[in-house]
Amino acid sequence: MTEKTNRKKLLEVKNLRVSFGEHKHKTVVVNDVSFDIYKGETFGLVGESGSGKTTIGRAVIRINPTMSGEIIYDGKKINGTISKELDREVTQKIQMIFQDPMASLNERAKVDYIVSEGLYNTKQKYTKEEKKSMVEKALQDVGLLPEFASRFPHEFSGGQRQRIGIARALIMQPEFIIADEPISALDVSIRAQVLNLLSDLQKKRDLTYLFVAHDLSVMRFIADRIAVIHKGVLVELGETEKLYNHPLHPYTQALLSAIPMPDPVAEKKKVLKVYDPSVHDYSVHKPSWVEVEENHFVLCNEAELQKYKKQIE
Ligand SMILES: Nc1ncnc2c1ncn2[C@@H]1O[C@H](COP(=O)(O)OP(=O)(O)OP(=O)(O)O)[C@@H](O)[C@H]1O
Ligand SMILES: [Mg+2]
């Protein structure tokens, strides 16, 4: 858990806003989001479909332009206009594993090209032979055979394709990986394998993860800390066990109640909590992002803060 983090901030996201559309038709889909990720940790980002999780990941890897706020990687601001040198560095050090392994791989390219594509833009240039052996090594590192390099993506199962996506990230020797729902599209039977692979790689290579998911079910096993996002706004952030045992925000509570229980009798009796934003009276006192206790943040106003503080006692 937290002892594996040496508390060096690797990624700092400060008051991030991301919008789509032009002028009057602008929609803000990520609104004033702030969080830090420490080196070596797995930081979970959870929220329902459309809440802005992928948009945040894509802003970090500089695909989505940011409207305001700062994204700082290893002490350097990486959003907006940056030097070519830094852009190259970020492109190598931060990799993303995409949500849908069926859609994210170029169907017309062979695996060796797909896996080695990122190497074409690195400062260091590699020969054909070097690339070939790097691809083979990357495939082996994710549990695939080196001879798969000459095949096309459609020849693989969903789990294997996700491994190809992971190899594509690993070949770049990244420090930080954004895993965007890497197992959601996979059969339940192979989800654990891919999760174990990610966890082994993290240990071997001292990787830091931003792990995105739309529910809390797998998060407990992998995340050190979790941030909960609702409609583009963070509502709660805390250490995993804290969040599971003492969720404060009603939306976090609703997400937790949606996790299936292993005991079928308990599962049948369970009351699903539905989040109703009208429980907050924000007409007079607006909410803000407050550290309710050490390392535990909640979006709340003064009245809610007092209530939460009593719950914690
Ligand atoms: N390129 C885009 N142009 C316009 N709107 C977009 C674009 N990308 C995302 N959006 C919108 O931004 C919002 C957040 O989308 P995003 O993909 O970040 O959600 P998500 O949390 O990753 O959801 P999911 O769990 O379904 O992947 C959605 O309303 C989506 O329609
Ligand atoms: Mg998404």
Give residue for tokens 């169907």.
107
DSSP secondary structure string for all residues of 94-138: EEEE-S-HHHHS-TTS-HHHHHHGGGGGSSS---HHHHHHHHHHH
Q: pLDDT tens-digit profile of 245-289?
A: 999 999 999 999 988 877 888 888 877 888 999 999 999 899 999
pTM attached to this predicted model = 0.94
Phi, psi of 93 (to 5 degrees): -80, -25
Q: pLDDT tens-digit profile of 22-53?
A: 888 899 999 999 999 999 999 999 999 999 99
The bound ligand whose nearest atom lies closest to the alpha carbon of 21 is 1
**pLDDT above 70 (res 1):** no
* Structure confidence at residue 23 (pLDDT): 83
DSSP secondary structure string for all residues of 132-182: HHHHHHHHHHTT--GGGGGS-GGGS-HHHHHHHHHHHHHTT--SEEEEEST
Separation of alpha carbons 207 and 11, rounded Å:
13
Q: Which atom of ligand 1 is nearest to the CA of 232?
A: 14
Q: Which atom of ligand 1 is nearest to the CA of 21?
A: 4
Give residue for tokens 């350097």.
76
Are 187 and 4 in contact, with CB atoms under 8 Å apart? no
* Structure confidence at residue 174 (pLDDT): 97
Report the run of H or E that residue 193 belongs to, with start and end.
helix 188-205
Residue of 100 and 70 predicted with greater confidence: 70
Q: Is 27 helix (H, G, I), strand (E, B) or coil?
A: strand
126 lines ligand 1 (CB under 6 A): no
**pLDDT above 70 (res 8):** yes
DSSP state of 275: -
214 lines ligand 1 (CB under 6 A): yes
Query: How far apart are the CA of 142 and the centre of ligand 1, in A?
Result: 29
Residue of 84 and 189 predicted with greater confidence: 84
Q: pLDDT tens-digit profile of 204-216?
A: 999 999 999 988 9
Take atom 28 of ligand 1 and give the residue whose Cα is closest: 50
